[in-house]
């Protein structure tokens, strides 16, 4: 893993976040300094937490302990619901082997807990089953630090889940219709198993070649009326796979304000 010492730690924290989360995806994941800006912003959060007990520019920082790895939660600048969860140590992306073990489960739990940062700004105008999580592939992401996206689902994706989600079972199988233009494989995670689930480990069970650097996944809630509540894990492979496409960063599913 390449050194991150070249990251511009002196840059304003908000500018770092904006660059990290809005920079276009490069054609190849080469040694490009722009792919480390998120790491520089994260270091600012961790330092503020350690020295002053503050979390800015992050929403939340958990430094972890001997049993649990640390994680941080950030808001994408200018996007009131788009939230990102990251490890506080170097983890390049979902292809990292360490994620197949307990650390992957811990980061998953941190992301589940962070869903409130999507719903709280909307003050009851967004149902919990309209929030998804996503991790992009090596070429589908702009940064080489694992970051789990959380935001509102696209209305078309939620409608497809309402129509076809009940047919998803516990083993990987093709989802019957495209979601945001991509063909996904899907598997069900029952509600009782969600907390201890490890989606990074589950990706190794995808049929075909295990090329996790070309793999992207999303986790979406089962919809009201589903006889087996829980989550549906969605994954696909492509040179620049981006399951983040199932999300709508403008959050049109949020009910309009009354009055």
The C-alpha atoms of residue 42 and residue 194 are separated, in whole angstroms, by 27
- Residue 145: name the closest of 204, 84, 201 by CA: 84
Phi-psi region of 248 (alpha: psi -120 to 50; beta: other; left: phi over 0): beta
Read off the pLDDT of each residue in 243-256 and give the average, rounded to a whole number: 94
Is the pLDDT at 240 greater than 90? The verdict is yes
Ordered by start, the domain boundaries in the chain are 13-24+35-246
Read off the pLDDT of each residue in 168-181 and give the average, rounded to a whole number: 97
pLDDT the model gives residue 256: 81
One-character DSSP codes across 13-52:
HHHHHHHHHHSPPPSS-SS-GGGGHHHHHHHHHHHHHHHH
Q: How confident is the model at residue 259 (pLDDT cuts 50, 70, 90)?
A: low
CB-based contacts of 27, cutoff 8 Å, min separation 6: none
The C-alpha atoms of residue 170 and residue 231 are separated, in whole angstroms, by 11
Least-confidence region, from 31-40, 52-61, 81-90, 210-219: 31-40
The C-alpha atoms of residue 95 and residue 116 are separated, in whole angstroms, by 27
Distances (CA, A) of 42 to 58, 152, 173, 191, 255: 8, 23, 37, 31, 33
The CATH architecture assigned to 13-24+35-246 reads 2-Layer Sandwich (3.30)
Model pLDDT for residues 115-149, shown as the tens digit of each residue: 999 999 999 899 989 999 999 999 999 999 999 99
Number of CB atoms found within 10 A of residue 201's CB: 14
Q: What is the CA radius of gyration of the chain?
A: 18
pLDDT the model gives residue 23: 39
């Amino acid at each position: 893993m390449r050194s991150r010492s070249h990251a511009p730690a002196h840059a304003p924290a908000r500018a770092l976040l904006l660059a990290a989360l809005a920079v276009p995806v490069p054609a190849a994941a080469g040694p490009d300094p722009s792919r480390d800006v998120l790491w520089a912003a994260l270091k600012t959060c961790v330092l503020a937490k350690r020295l002053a007990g503050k979390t800015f520019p992050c929403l939340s920082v958990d430094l972890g302990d001997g049993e649990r790895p640390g994680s941080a939660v950030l808001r994408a600048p200018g996007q009131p619901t788009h939230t990102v969860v990251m490890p506080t140590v170097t983890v390049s992306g979902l292809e990292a082997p360490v994620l197949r073990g307990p650390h992957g489960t811990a980061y998953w739990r941190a992301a589940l807990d962070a869903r409130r940062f999507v719903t709280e700004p909307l003050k009851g105008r967004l149902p919990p089953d309209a929030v998804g999580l996503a991790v992009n592939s090596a070429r589908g992401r702009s940064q080489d630090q694992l970051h789990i996206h959380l935001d509102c689902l696209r209305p078309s994706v939620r409608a497809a889940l309402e129509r076809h989600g009940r047919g998803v079972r516990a083993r990987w199988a093709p989802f019957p219709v495209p979601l945001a233009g991509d063909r996904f494989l899907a598997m069900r995670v029952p509600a009782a198993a969600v907390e201890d689930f490890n989606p990074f480990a589950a990706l190794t069970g995808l049929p075909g070649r295990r090329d996790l650097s070309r793999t992207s996944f999303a986790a979406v809630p089962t919809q009201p009326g589903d006889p087996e509540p829980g989550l549906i894990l969605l994954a696909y492979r492509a040179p620049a796979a981006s399951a983040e496409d199932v999300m709508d960063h403008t959050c049109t599913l949020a009910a309009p304000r009354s009055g």
